[in-house]
């Protein structure tokens, strides 16, 4: 682990804001460790006191406020404001608010006026995070600003869905369309590759709302998966910008990044920076791209207006990552502009599953299996071991419940 750290304002605390239930998310834990190691007091909104993030030695306090994402916006805003009010009274100053999911980013931006007395927030246009997190309007903006993107459609009904599928061709990618609806009424659990019309219609039955995006599929054999993480200041000017390649994900071809490598890519960096300047984006962002090897163009798949789960892949020689850059910026301190470190990133248990799936599919071991000293691990680190133990217990219990759910009731001793 790199121990270099920029001079953050240790008197300004941080609150990690989340909406929804994802107790095994490793992105918030990475933010706690990054800021906590730099001497900043970090509080986090969590589902319960036994989430791995809540048990980190670098977390100042876990604030239990479970949400589902189905609550009215007014209630969610009131919850965040109440937490911010209490923290402001304790510390005598506003916190830096760091969103760890799309819904939290949308909430903070759209209600910045109500939350500003308690939080330091980036000056992002209020409607922009929702527009970027919505897969349909993101595609519209890509067309508007000349950013390459795979053809996408947000159908209003099943007839338009079938028309979109005909234009995309099979296989195609199916995604939940918008923030909040992905929690309240998800069509798929994650970006899903659909191979034929029957499978498409199983995901989109006529008795359910159709909040979905159909997108052209770029096969792995003809593309490379790239990512950019950045923190922008006023008017979309990048303060820290990183590029890298996603090597594996779980579930394969549409899930969390489980193995990635930081790779300097000036062309992709310029594309991401140019987009953020044109739209005036401010704050932390995580962008997914595919390099289409057939035409040599980087095509934007997703723009996530918050910290990405794998953001700790990226750090500069000065110890700057995107959450540290945000804290420096919002507290009026300069952000050092050193080059990014060359290193890998791995998500232990999920990468093992991803590698096993690749072995089963391809009948040969995947690449990049051997351990590397430069790997930043999502969970395991010597100075903060309790979260990985908590994750192991919860992950194992979750896996057992899922396996048990596939066993027929008769085999479990229940009634047929």
What per-residue confidence (pLDDT) applies to 405? 66
Q: Which of 93, 99, 77 is nearest to 41 (CA)?
A: 93
Please enumerate, as own/partner, the contacts of 198-202 that have beta carbons within 8 Å and a separation of 24 or more.
Answer: 200/161, 200/162, 200/165, 200/172, 200/174, 201/158
Q: CA-based diameter of the chain, in Å?
A: 66
What per-residue confidence (pLDDT) applies to 415? 40
Tokens (6 digits) for 9: 């304002």
Position of tokens 């209630």?
75
pLDDT tops 60 at residue 164: yes
pLDDT tops 90 at residue 400: no
pLDDT tops 50 at residue 409: no
What per-residue confidence (pLDDT) applies to 362? 75
Contacts of 189 (CB under 8 A, 6+ apart): none
Range in 157-171, 213-227, 329-343, 368-382 the model is least confident about: 368-382
pLDDT (mean) for 236-262: 91
Tokens (6 digits) for 24: 């095994």
Greater pLDDT, 210 or 305: 305
Name the percent of the chain lying above pLDDT 70. Answer: 95
Name the percent of the chain lying above pLDDT 90. Answer: 82
pLDDT tops 70 at residue 414: no
pLDDT band, very low/low/confident/very high, at 352 (cuts 50, 70, 90): confident
Range in 86-100, 246-260, 282-296, 371-385 the model is least confident about: 246-260
pLDDT tops 60 at residue 413: no
pLDDT tens, 114-137?
A: 999 999 999 999 999 999 999 999
Can you name the CATH fold of 14-132+221-351?
D-amino Acid Aminotransferase; Chain A, domain 1 (3.30.470)
Q: Which of 351, 397, 307, 344 is nearest to 33 (CA)?
A: 307
pLDDT tops 70 at residue 408: no
pLDDT band, very low/low/confident/very high, at 407 (cuts 50, 70, 90): low
What per-residue confidence (pLDDT) applies to 416? 35
Tokens (6 digits) for 194: 């659909």
**Mean pLDDT taken over the chain:** 92
336-to-98, 331, 333, 339, 383 alpha-carbon distances in Å: 20, 14, 9, 9, 26
3-state secondary structure the chain: CCCCCCCCCCCCCEEEECCCCCCCCCHHHHHHHHHHHCCCCEEEEECCCCCCHHHCCCCCEEEECCCCCCCCHHHHHHHHHHHHHHHHHHHCCCEEEEECCHHHHHHHHHCHHHHCCCEECCCCCCCHHHHHHCHHHHHHHHHHHCCCCCCEECCCCHHHHHHHHHHHCCCEEEEECCCCHHHHCCCCCCCEEECCHHHHHHHCCCCCCCCEEEEECCCHHHEEEEEEEEEECHHHCEEEEEEEEEEEEECCCCCEEEEEEECCCHHHHHHHHHHHHHHCCCEEEEEEEEEECCCCEEEEEEEECCCCCCHHHCCECCCCCHHHHHHHHHCCCCCCCCCECCCEEECHHHHHHHHHHHHHHHCCCCCCCCCCCCEEECCCCCCCCHHHHHHHHHHHHHHHHHHHHCCCCCCCCCCC
Please tell me which of 52-61, 343-352, 393-402 the model is most confident about, judged by mean pLDDT.
Answer: 52-61
β-strand pairing of 95-99 with 61-64: unpaired
Query: Which sequence spans correspond to the domains of the chain?
Result: 14-132+221-351, 155-211
């Amino acid at each position: 682990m790199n121990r270099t750290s920029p001079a953050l304002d240790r008197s300004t605390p941080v609150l990690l804001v989340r909406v929804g239930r994802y107790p095994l998310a490793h992105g918030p834990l990475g933010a706690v460790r990054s800021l906590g190691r730099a001497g900043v007091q970090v509080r986090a909104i969590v589902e319960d006191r036994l989430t791995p993030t809540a048990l980190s030695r670098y977390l100042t306090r876990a604030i239990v406020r479970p949400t589902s994402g189905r609550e009215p916006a007014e209630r969610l805003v009131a919850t965040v404001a109440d937490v911010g009010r209490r923290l402001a009274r304790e510390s005598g100053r506003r916190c830096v608010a760091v969103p760890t999911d799309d819904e939290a980013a949308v909430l903070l931006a759209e209600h910045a006026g109500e939350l500003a007395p308690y939080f330091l927030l980036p000056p992002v246009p209020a409607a922009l995070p929702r527009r970027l997190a919505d897969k349909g309007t993101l595609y519209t903006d890509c067309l508007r600003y000349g950013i390459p993107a795979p053809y996408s459609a947000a159908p209003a009904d099943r007839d338009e869905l079938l028309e979109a599928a005909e234009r995309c061709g099979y296989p195609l990618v199916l995604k939940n369309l918008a923030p909040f609806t992905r929690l309240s009424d998800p069509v798929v659990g994650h970006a899903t590759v659909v191979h034929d019309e029957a499978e498409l219609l199983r995901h989109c039955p006529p008795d359910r709302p159709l909040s979905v995006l159909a997108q052209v599929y770029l096969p792995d054999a003809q593309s490379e998966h790239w990512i950019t993480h950045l923190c922008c200041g006023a008017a979309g000017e990048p303060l820290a910008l990183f590029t890298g390649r996603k090597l594996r994900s779980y579930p394969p071809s549409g899930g969390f990044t489980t193995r990635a490598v930081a790779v300097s890519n000036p062309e992709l960096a310029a594309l991401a920076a140019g987009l953020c300047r044109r739209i005036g984006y401010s704050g932390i962002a995580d962008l997914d791209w595919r390099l289409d090897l057939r035409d040599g163009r980087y095509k934007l798949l997703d723009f996530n207006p918050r910290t990405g789960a794998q953001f700790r892949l990226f750090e500069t020689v000065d110890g700057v990552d995107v959450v540290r850059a945000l804290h420096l910026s919002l507290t009026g301190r300069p952000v050092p502009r050193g080059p990014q470190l060359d290193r890998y990133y791995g998500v232990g248990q999920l990468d093992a599953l991803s590698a096993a799936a690749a072995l089963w599919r391809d009948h040969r071991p995947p690449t990049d299996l051997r351990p590397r000293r430069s790997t930043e691990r999502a969970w395991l680190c010597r100075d903060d071991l309790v979260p990985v133990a908590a994750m192991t217990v919860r992950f194992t219990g979750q896996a057992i419940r899922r396996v048990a759910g596939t066993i027929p009731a008769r085999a479990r001793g229940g009634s047929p």
